[in-house]
Each structure stands twice: as structure tokens, then as C-alpha cells.
Chains A and B, each alone.
Chain A
Amino acid sequence: MFPELFDTAPLRRAIDDGLDWLIANWGGGFEAAAAPLQWTLNAIERGLLALPWWALIAVLAGLALMATRKPTLPLVVVAAMLALGVLELWEDALKTTALMLTATLGTIVVAIPVGVVMSGSAMIRRIVTPVLDLMQTMPSFVYLIPAVMVFGPGRVPAVLATMIYAAPPLMRLTDLGIRLVDPDVLEAGWSFGMTRGQRLVKIQVPLALPTIFAGINQATMMSLSMVVIASMIGAGGLGYQVLQGIGRLEVSRGLLAGLGIVALAIVFDRITQAFGRRLQRRLGVAETRP
């Protein structure tokens, strides 16, 4: 056994007391800060549930057609969505989709600016990278508990936990995409007297967009993979069905809901990937790099 060097109990107590103090004094502030997430989630969920089923399928198939200009992907999307309906998972799937879209939107809003800042400074990158590693490897239950303590069980802590898990790849890919921008193009920009803001808006972001899009695709997929864990703190949706299936030893319920998650993953993964490829072709990335 490793010898006990000192008593760690005071350390643990200090952490717990610190969190309690934080909640007692700042709990209201945290909840207010997270309110936009709640509104966004409610709005998306209400919107999705208000759409007739065929309209939603048509919208998704239309997006798929726009992204690929081929019939294959729209057909796959229609089949996946019909399967969700037939298996009586429609409402749960939409709740999960709303959760995933909210987490993805929140991730985009937070992660892209962080990625931009990282790309601009090697020192900030050196500081942020280990934090991102920590966010990705720390078991999500560890931060679910304080999140529930602060916000109470429900969907907001679920969205936040999902964002913590999904943000690192988008931050990394935004940083990478911007750093890979052709230095010749940047130099030409400087020679015409552009400002730093113009560099970001007119050159860096448009040229990094395919890579950023790959990050958004990753974020959506990671958000979906969090839904079962998120359902443990009251997120509802397909994840909750899986959880119930496990709890009641109802293999069928868990299996079908799990397949539902896979169907959603296929739909959103393929659509975002196709848009990413489309952007890449528009930039002619393959052709300009000999």
C-alpha cells in the first residue's frame, strides 16, 4: 500500500464546502447565465414537435439533396426517419435532436472564438491544449454531479455537460484550420493594408471553413453519444428509453432506442459531412495544394 503522507480529508472537505458556498452565493447567477440555453432548447424542441412528421422528413431530405445533389443520401435520410416513426420513437427522437442541436449551437458559439484565439497565439495554445485534454478524458459523471447541484436535475445541466464533452474537437479543428491557411494569401492580404479583423473575416474563417465544418460534424456526433448519460439527469428522449430498458431489463426497449440513436447519427453525420465536402470543393483545396 502507498503510505499515507498526510490526511486528504480536509482537502476533500474544502472542495465540497467550496462548491456549497458557490451554489449558496452564486447559484442564481449560474442559472440566469444558462437561461439562454433553456430558451434555445425549448424553442427548438417546440419547433420540431410542431412540424408535421412529413414536413420534417421533407426538410431533412431537402438538406441532404442540397448537400450532395444526388438521390442516395436523401433516400437514406427518409428511410432512417421513417424507421424512427414506425418504431414509435418519433417524439423521443425529436427531443434528443433538440438537445443535440442546442448543445451543438452552444458549442459553436463558445468553441469557434476559442479556436480563433488559440490560432493567434502559441502561448495560449500551450495553455489551452491540456485543458482540452482534461475536458475530453475526465469521465462525464464527474462534472455531471456538480452541474446537477448547481442547476438541479433537468436538461440544462445535460446540455452543459454535453458541451464540455463536444467542444474540444471543434476548438482544435478551428485552430488547425486557421493555422493551415495559405501564408501566400495572407501575405497578399497584408500587402493591401488589411486590418486584423479583415484578415479573420475575409481570409481566415472562409478558408478554414471546411476544417471548422469537420469540427461541427464531430461536435454533433459527440453530442449524440452523450444522450444516454445525459438522460440520467433528466434529459429525456431516446437516452431515457435506453436507461429504462437497462433498468427494467427490457432488452427490446434499449435495443430499439439505441438503434434510433444510430439512425439520428447517420442522418446528421452524413448531412454535415456532405456540406463539409461541398465547402472543400468550392475552395478547390485538393487542386490548389500540389
Chain B
Amino acid sequence: MSPVIDVREVTKIFGRNPERALALLRAGRGKPEIQAETGNVIGLDRVSLSVEAGEIFVVMGLSGSGKSTLIRHVNRLVDPTSGGIVVNGVDVMAMGAAGLRAYRRNTVSMVFQRFGLLPHRSVLDNVAFGLEVKGVGLDDRNAAARRWIETVGLAGYERSRPRQLSGGEQQRVGLARALAMDTPILLMDEAFSALDPLNRAQLQDELLALQHRLRKTILFITHDFDEALKLGTRIAVLRDGAVEQVGRPEEIVLHPATAHVAAFVRQVSRARAIPLAAVMERGAFAPYAASLPATARCEDALALFAAHAWIGVLDADGVPVGRVGVAAVLEALAQPAGRTP
């Protein structure tokens, strides 16, 4: 299956003379050296990613890693210095102004870290904004906006202004505005980073529930490794504008590719990160008294081990596919972080 979003060798250089900096970078010169010599900053260096249909692809990195620059390449809020972006088989870089507008209106919508709501408009008019830009008639766009406001749990707030809402509520407006566009691709730039921990956890759960229903292709940016593990179907770790590792959450936790990734892994609860699928013993066994789905985390199994030595593992349809024992789970949890076996 061809990827929905294909980022190909994207390099982004900020500054006055990107061509010269690009030549130096290709010649193998270091970033600090190039910055000192030309005054240009290397934002991204030959980043390639493929995001598959229906997955939540998380790009995780610290501030300055280039993750916000990367996501803006997908809807071309930022143009690359070199490289290409192909979405659903269409070259985004080849689009003219009108083609780009149509692409932004119909294919990708975005949720922003600092919300980007219109302060002079009500919640309803904010959610309807994208549809208004698209040229949808008043009645239709208001009906759609009302539906999405209800979906994100803000029914009754239609007439409020953004500044009357809390941060979490404002981001629900931002999410509803993006969802109302009904695009197959959703870009979320640190969408939950500005929120307090409780609100963040709640919105993460709601996003997962929504995604279960909507099956969009989501590119999610975060600096929070816990958030990446919780939301990501796959995770890419970005550092200094280059991809360090791409993989499923458990792959990254169990086999961090670099010391930088290992440093993140040490900070998280392994019990929460590793799914049973990664530690289970596959095969047909007699039915067990307690069972969990393969996507459940080791954390969920720990409570059951008080009463059971083995726990059955089920696939998405509830069919038994294997079992896990205390020893396997303990081994996975105890594995010294940062050292690959």
C-alpha cells in the first residue's frame, strides 16, 4: 500500500542564503559550522517519512528539533529548500496557488498549539470558519459546525467567544474546526501541549475514541514521549532536524536506536509503553480465566497477576492468540533501559 503522506528527503534551511548553506551541508559540513559561516540555520536535514492510511503517526522531538517545521511542510505553510512532499500520490510541491488552496480545503486540515482562533467570532463561527473559506452556504456550515461542537463536547457554548473558554475548551474548538473540514488528513501541531495534564489526558482519550470512529490519517507533533506512546501507531523521533528512529511504540521502548532515544525511554513507565503483543507467547492454549486484548499494556496485566499466573491474549475480534506469564512481563519491565539486547 502506498503511503498517504510521503515526505521525501526534505531539507529546510532558514536564512538569507539557503543555496550556499545547502551546498555546504551536502559537502558534509557540520551545522554549527554552516551557521557560523553563512548565518543560515538548518531546520531539517533530509527527513523522509511515510505515513500510512488510518494511522496516528507521531513525530516526537524537543524544541528546536524541527518538528513544527516538518508538519508545516505537509500543507506547505513552509516550503522546503529541497526535497518533495507527495500526498495521496499527488506532488504537493507542484501545486499552483489555486491547487494549493483546493488541497488545503479538501485534503488536509490542521490543529495548532496556540489554537489560532478568531477572537472576534463566536465558537460557532470559529468552527464554521474553514467551511466559510471553502464557500459552504451559511445554513449548511452552521449545521455542520453544530454537529462537531457537540462531538467535541462543547454543546451549549456555540455563542461564547474563545476568550471566555479555558485552554482545553479552546483547543476543542480548534479540533472541531479542523474536523468540520471533513478532510482525510489531520495535522496536529503540539495540539495538546499548552493544556494542563488533566485536560491533556482527557483530550488524548477523546482523540483516540474519535479516531476509532473516523479513521483519519493523523500526523501528530509532540515533545511529550508519554503522549507519543499513548497516541502513536508509529513514532518518529526527531533530533536536530534529522530522524533518529521510526517504529511502533514498543519497538522504540524495547530497542531504542540511539542514546538520545534511550534517554527518553528511561523517563517513561515501561509498563505503560509495552503492549502485551510484544511480550506474549503465541500459540493455541487452553482458555484462561483472565484475558486481555493484545493492545493492552503490561500495566493492565500487572493487576491480574495477583490472582493468575497466566493471562490469555486476544486479538481485536476476541479470538485467543496467545498467553503471557509473570516472568515474561517482569523481564520486559526490568530490562535495563537504554541498553539494547
Tell me the A residues contacting B by CB distance below 8 Å. 182, 184-185, 187-195, 198, 202-203, 206-207, 209, 282-285, 287-288
Contacts and interface: CB of A to CB of B under 8 A. Distances in A.
Interface of B: 75, 77, 100-105, 108-110, 112, 114-120, 129-130, 132-134, 161-163, 174, 181, 187
B77 A187 contact: yes
Given A184-B116, A191-B104, A284 B163 contact: yes
A281 to B, nearest CB: 10
Contact of B112 (A184, A202, A282, A288): A184
A96 B142 CA distance: 47
A195 B120 contact: no
Contact of A185 (B75, B100, B118, B163): B118
A274 B181 CA distance: 38
Given A191-B104, A191-B110, A284-B163, A202 B133 contact: yes
Given A193-B102, A288-B119, A288-B163, A184 B114 contact: yes
A288 B129 CA distance: 19
A193 to B, nearest CB: 3
Contacts of A283: 119-120
A141 B120 CA distance: 43
A192 B100 CA distance: 10
B173 to A, nearest CB: 11
Nearest to A189: B133
Nearest to A191: B110
A90 B247 CA distance: 82
A198 to B, nearest CB: 6
15 contacts: A185-B119, A188-B110, A190-B77, A190-B104, A191-B112, A192-B105, A192-B129, A192-B181, A193-B103, A202-B132, A202-B133, A206-B120, A283-B119, A284-B119, A284-B162
Nearest to B125: A202
A202 B77 CA distance: 19
Given A191-B109, A193-B103, A185 B117 contact: yes
B133 A194 contact: yes
The winner among B77, B102, B133 for most chain A CB atoms within 10 A is B133
B336 to A, nearest CB: 43
A194 B109 CA distance: 12
A277 to B, nearest CB: 15
Residue picked from B110, B119, B130, most chain A C-beta under 10 Å = B119
A253 to B, nearest CB: 48
A195 B100 CA distance: 11
Contact of B163 (A182, A203, A209, A287): A287
A283 B162 CA distance: 10
Contact of A193 (B104, B116, B161, B162): B104
Given A192-B129, A193-B103, A282 B110 contact: no
A72 B278 CA distance: 73
